[in-house]
Chains A and B, each alone.
Chain A
Amino acid sequence: MATWDWHVFCKETTTGDTVPSCFGSGGDITYLDWLLSAWGWTLSVAVLALIVALAVGSLMGILRTAPDKRLVFIGNAWTELFRNIPLLVQIFLWYHVLPSLIKPLQGFPSFILVVFALGFFTSARISEQVKAGIQALPKGQRCAGLAVGLTLPQTYRYVLLPMAFRIVIPPLTSESMNIIKNSSVAFAVSVAELTMFAMQAGEETSRNVEMYLAVTGLYFISAFTINRLALVIENRVRVPGMIGAR
């Protein structure tokens, strides 16, 4: 087996000298500095995209269960468009093709473009899950809500959505963890995140195993933290009477 060289993280990135404190100073950066900054970019892209995805995805999921056929069509069209094209292809289109069609996009930094691309892509999946959650509820709930005198939006807000969201917390957690990992596609548009770091630093130092291990570890920590947070939320909002309750 090859030897390990964890000191590579203390090397300065331009000259290759080892810095004793492992953190660079005065404009120099070590690979460790770079790794942490890349982690920051990954988390920024992922969190912003998640906010976009949850907002838009929930809206589309609700539209797809509305009684008005036109709203259903809008929701369906959005979902189908964004989930049937691979993420890498979508990012490519946002970065290279759309700016020449929609002029204002040319001024946007690639970071914003990738947040939109990733957010819209994930929103399609979230809309599917929200729709499944709403439809898994007994039909009587909606009828009862309307019968008691609530308007349709009120029925959604007070009767259907609270239960639907609780049902789909497991798949939504999967989506949130996915977004952390899918953020790696941002390397294709020159955002300095973890996957780009792994590829570049691995190439420069020829220590691919150490770099990939560190990056895998950070992805794991980020995604696992979200998973635990979601579990806390799931336990807090659990409703007695459904199978998950203990």
Chain B
Amino acid sequence: MNLDFAFLNWGVVSSFVLKGLVFSVQLTLIAMVGGILLGTALALMRLSGKPWLVTPAAAYVNTMRSIPLVMVILWFFLLIPLLTGKPLGAEVSAMITFTLFEAAYYSEIMRAGIQSVPKGQVHAAYAVGMSYSQTMQLIILPQAFRNMLPVLLTQTIILFQDTSLVYAIGAYDLLKGFEIAGKNFNRPVETYLIAAVVYFIICFSLSMLVRRLQNKIAIIR
């Protein structure tokens, strides 16, 4: 297998790859924050026991989880302009779509987290006189969050990798940057190897940070 890295220099990197990296990171952060907030709300709706909250939340989560993300991205980008009469930029469209989509996944994780807290805690909270929102805010959600932190952050790392799906609407992310460089110089094997290494370094560092964080805030039982 003969590899030829001769085409690689800082000019190539800055013109092809940096722009994609910035967009990928931006999209990940926005979708993570928005997704966790919306996802927690959805999880609470599903666990509330009231049918008028449970059914819409469940329907939303199940639909989003059943359709491939690339299809959601594509449909959103193509259909919204037909309704509003004005085209939506690819970047903005991607941000909205990712937040809505990831919320479904974050909600399932938060639901597992809330359910892993022993029910005695809820009863104790009510016995002491706390209301539902106080119980959730002060007792259940902090524990659920800490229990599920590794899974939440794994989902974020996956989200970072999923940003590569924006190729479907022509947005420019990190993997696309590598692919274009590979196509322009016809060195796909070399650029994919470099892409694998770069992604590994970024995601592994995040993963190590997660490990550190988890050790600090994990609940000892």
Contact = CB atoms under 8 A, between A and B. Distances in A.
B67 A220 contact: yes
A83 B159 CA distance: 11
B175 A86 contact: yes
Nearest to B179: A88
Nearest to A140: B221
Chain B interface, DSSP helix/strand/loop, else mixed: helix
Interface residues of B, number: 51
Interface in A93-149: 93, 96-97, 100-101, 125, 128-129, 131-132, 135-140
B166 to A, nearest CB: 13
A224 B204 CA distance: 32
Interface string A70-92: 00000000001101111111101
B71 A242 contact: no
- Interface SS of chain A: helix, strand, loop or mixed? helix
Interface of A: 1, 80-81, 83-90, 92-93, 96-97, 100-101, 125, 128-129, 131-132, 135-140, 167-171, 173-174, 177, 181, 184, 195, 212, 215-216, 219-220, 222-224, 227, 241-245
B118 interface: yes
A81 B114 CA distance: 30
Interface in B196-213: 196, 199-200, 202-204, 207
Contacts of A184: 68, 70
Interface of B: 1, 47, 62-63, 65-71, 74-75, 82, 105, 108-109, 111-112, 114-119, 122, 147-148, 150-151, 154, 157-158, 161, 164, 175, 188-189, 192-193, 195-196, 199-200, 202-204, 207, 218, 220-221
A80 B196 contact: no
B70 A242 contact: no
List the 6 shortest-distance A-B pairs measured between CB atoms, nearest first: A84-B203, A223-B66, A181-B68, A138-B221, A100-B1, A86-B161
A219 B67 contact: yes
Given A167-B112, A184-B70, A227-B65, 8 more contacts: A84-B199, A85-B199, A173-B108, A212-B74, A219-B71, A242-B115, A243-B114, A244-B115
A128 B147 contact: no
Contacts of B75: 212, 216
A113 to B, nearest CB: 15
Contact of A224 (B62, B105, B147, B164): B62
Given A89-B195, A93-B196, A167-B112, A243 B66 contact: no
12 contacts: A80-B204, A84-B204, A96-B189, A129-B154, A139-B221, A170-B108, A171-B108, A177-B66, A212-B75, A219-B66, A223-B67, A243-B118
Nearest to A216: B71
Nearest to B114: A243
Given A131-B150, A138-B221, A101 B68 contact: no
A125 B195 CA distance: 21
Contacts of A220: 63, 66-67
Given A171-B109, A227-B65, A241-B119, A128 B151 contact: yes
